């Protein structure tokens, strides 16, 4: 937690915010801050600055917030639904890296049970996104969509999203090396363990997505995602 992120429902007035239990614990145990100390705070979807801690009422009183959140990545990520534990970490990590649009998608090799996971509830996803923002000192919440059917997504949802964007689908075979340092917006689709099947690859290609590989090493989703993002958009 490199930033105390304050949500609208924590506001007591325009400049006074109530800290929640998780924040109180972090401020006490990790940051070891005391009454009257300064904290780095940010408003959800807003600016960043300093606040003064009141440990009597567990409130923080905001100074001028003048720092803009770090730049977002100009891309949307389509992710075949990973298994729940992998999903948690992936949501945190991609949020920390600056992804603002995530489409979780079904695929032939996604286990049906993954869609039943409590990780997919709105409250749970929100929690991982918040953790990712707090890690990276960002304030802008990503939007996460869930698509339980592959075909309607690729045929109906994807085409308008692809306008003026480069479409890339990660696939180890019949693919070119993934581009490095893109100067345009993109949509990147990453498959499940075991990859997209033949039908799915045909659909991606028909929709105008270009298949790209990452060399001859097969990586887990949790590794492949930061590798791909860092390659497409190396931070300056």
Residue 223 is a binding residue for its own copies (CB under 8 A): yes
Residue 107 is a binding residue for its own copies (CB under 8 A): no
Residue 197 is a binding residue for its own copies (CB under 8 A): no
Residue 121 is a binding residue for its own copies (CB under 8 A): no
Residue 85 is a binding residue for its own copies (CB under 8 A): no
Binds its own copies by CB under 8 A, chosen from 27, 78, 96, 140: 96
Residue 137 is a binding residue for its own copies (CB under 8 A): yes
Residue 226 is a binding residue for its own copies (CB under 8 A): yes
Q: Which is nearer to its own copies, 51 or 69 (CB)?
A: 69
Binds its own copies by CB under 8 A, chosen from 12, 180, 185, 206: 180
Number of residues located near its own copies, criterion CB under 8 A? 34
Residue 161 is a binding residue for its own copies (CB under 8 A): no
Binds its own copies by CB under 8 A, chosen from 125, 187, 188, 214: 214
Q: What is the chain written as a DSSP string? A: --SEEE-GGGBSSSSEEE--HHHHHHHHHTS---TT-EEEEEETTS-EEEEEEETTTTEEEEEEEEEPPPPPPSEEEEEE---HHHHHHHHHHHHHHT--EEEEE--TTS-GGGGG-GGGSHHHHHHHHHHHHHHHT-----EEEEES-HHHIIIIIHHHHTTTSEEEEE-SSS-EEPPSS-SS-EEEEE--TT---HHHHHHHHHTTPEEEE--S----HHHHHHHHHHHHS---
Q: Which residues contact its own copies (rule: CB under 8 A)?
A: 2, 70, 89, 92-93, 96-98, 135-138, 177-178, 180-181, 214-220, 222-223, 226-231, 234-236
């Amino acid at each position: 937690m490199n930033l105390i992120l304050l949500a609208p429902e924590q506001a007591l007035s325009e400049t006074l915010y109530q800290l929640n239990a998780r924040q109180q614990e972090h401020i006490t145990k990790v940051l070891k801050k005391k009454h009257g100390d300064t904290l780095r705070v940010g408003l959800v979807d807003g600016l960043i600055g300093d606040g003064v801690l009141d440990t009597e009422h567990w409130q923080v009183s905001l100074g001028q917030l003048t720092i803009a959140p770090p730049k977002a990545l100009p891309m949307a990520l389509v992710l075949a639904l990973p298994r729940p534990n992998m999903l948690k970490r992936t949501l945190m990590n991609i949020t920390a890296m600056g992804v603002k649009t995530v489409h979780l998608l079904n695929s032939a090799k996604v286990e049906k049970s993954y869609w039943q996971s409590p990780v997919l509830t709105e409250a749970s996803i929100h929690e991982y996104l918040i953790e990712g923002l707090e890690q990276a000192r960002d304030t802008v919440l990503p939007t996460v969509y869930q698509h339980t059917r592959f075909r309607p997504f690729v045929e109906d949802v994807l085409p308008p999203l692809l306008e003026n964007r480069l479409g890339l689908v990660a696939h180890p075979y019949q693919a070119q090396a993934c581009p490095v340092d893109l100067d345009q917006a993109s949509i990147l689709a990453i498959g499940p363990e075991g990859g997209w099947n033949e039908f799915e690859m045909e659909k991606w290609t028909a929709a105008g997505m270009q298949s790209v590989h990452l060399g001859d090493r097969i990586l887990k989703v949790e590794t492949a995602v930061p590798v791909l993002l860092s390659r497409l958009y190396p931070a300056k």
